[in-house]
Amino acid sequence: ATQTVIFHLCKQTNNLIHNQISITASAVFQGIDRDMRNIISARRHSKQFSSIMPLWLRYISLCL
């Protein structure tokens, strides 16, 4: 999860530096959300991750 956030923040920063185009906060958030859903889905059969998707979806609904 931490790597996903850092990746998307660095992507935004690099895009601003090299292309002089800022990625919107909502686009960064959507990228993080998409990656987190993929990470959780890939690990859904693990006991540790079985209940995380509902928690993530609940958290996302509160942020929007």
**pTM of the model as a whole:** 0.80
The span from the CA of 18 to the CA of 58, in Å, is 36
Q: What is the pLDDT of residues 5-59, one digit of tens each?
A: 999 999 999 999 999 999 999 999 999 999 999 999 998 888 777 788 889 999 8
Q: Which domain holds residue 50?
A: 2-63
**Cβ-proximal residues to 5 (8 Å cutoff; 6+ apart), any chain:** 32
- Total domains in the fold of the chain: 1
